Structure 1
Amino acid sequence: MAVHMIDVHFVTFDCARPYELATFWRDATGGELHPETQKDHDEVLLQGRVNLLFIKVPEGKSTKNRVHLDVTGTGGTTRDQEVERLLGLGATVFEDRRKPNGGGWVTMLDPEGNEFCVCRAEYERA
């Protein structure tokens, strides 16, 4: 029997200001805005290891995300260093679930209130 699979094409964010939110995530992830991106577009694509698509919608966020991103540092940065860097980019801490033993994560909000978690990278857990 043949195995059928799908590829995830984009992770899509509904938002009020697609360009601004895409630039936050660009700075956070190191991705690149699609070359045809304009500040006034209703859809902005951020290309990277995971493609993120930001689409303008009229309604605001009203409840907890049903899907969220879990992110880790790269290149030797720690979870705590990433939390500080993301704060500097405009994120806020929503829930700090770090544990005294070094485990846990930090749930943060991007500039439009979307939750994401900053976790320890594999090299940090080793």
Structure 2
Amino acid sequence: MSLHLHNITFDCADARALADFWSRLVGWNVYYDDDPEVLVAPHFPHEGPGLLFIPVPEGKTAKNRVHLDLSPEHGTRDETVKAAVQAGASVLGDHRKPDGSGWVTLADPEGNEFCIERGVAERGLAAPRAFRIGS
């Protein structure tokens, strides 16, 4: 069996505000209608994955068990961290090392954790090979 990853969903208090933050961070568009759910995607309709924001009455109470690891397509990790903070993120942990490796853990305006790593150009790496377990 294979599945298509359609959306990554965030429970939140203010779907439009949080979607706006993530739209600025990843450079995608915000889509909404009369439904309280808000979608952030490169285009509509999207083949996925998109970021879906659903308002819920309860607030975040613990550390995320799943989070996004992001790396810049253009620019550097440090420039991306600075832009994220300017957009409303807060730094939770700085794991950068003197040799340039490492990452920065941040939280979006509603406290959802995400990490920013170095981009491929900064790492000087080729893309990893893909394989399927059991084949």
Q: TM-score, normalised by structure 2?
A: 0.84
Aligned partner (choices 15, 22, 26) of residue 23 of structure 2: 26
Match of 2:37 in 1: 43
How many residues get paired?
Answer: 119
- Show structure 1 runs of 5+ residues with no match: none
The separation in 2 between residues aligned to 1:30 and 1:16, in whole angstroms, is 22
The separation in 1 between residues aligned to 2:115 and 2:65, in whole angstroms, is 13
Match of 1:88 in 2: 86
Q: Secondary structure at the match of 2:39?
A: strand
- 1:41 CA drift (Å): 4.6
- 1:123 CA drift (Å): 1.0
Alignment of 1:96-107 (within 5 A): 96-107=94-105
The separation in 1 between residues aligned to 2:113 and 2:41, in whole angstroms, is 20
For the 8 Å contact 1:18–1:41, the answer to whether it is kept is no
The separation in 2 between residues aligned to 1:28 and 1:72, in whole angstroms, is 11
- Show structure 2 runs of 5+ residues with no match: 43-47, 125-135
Do residues 52 (structure 1) and 89 (structure 2) align? Answer: no
- 1:74 CA drift (Å): 1.4
Amino acid at match of 2:27: G
The separation in 2 between residues aligned to 1:64 and 1:47, in whole angstroms, is 25
Q: Deviations over 1:15-64 (max 9, x none)?
A: 00000000000000111112xx25x7521011126300000001000000
Match of 1:118 in 2: 116
Cα RMSD of the aligned pairs, angstroms, is 1.3
- Identity among equivalent pairs (%): 49
The separation in 2 between residues aligned to 1:24 and 1:85, in whole angstroms, is 11
Q: Secondary structure at the match of 2:21?
A: helix
Q: TM-score, normalised by structure 1?
A: 0.90
Moved over 4 A (4+): none
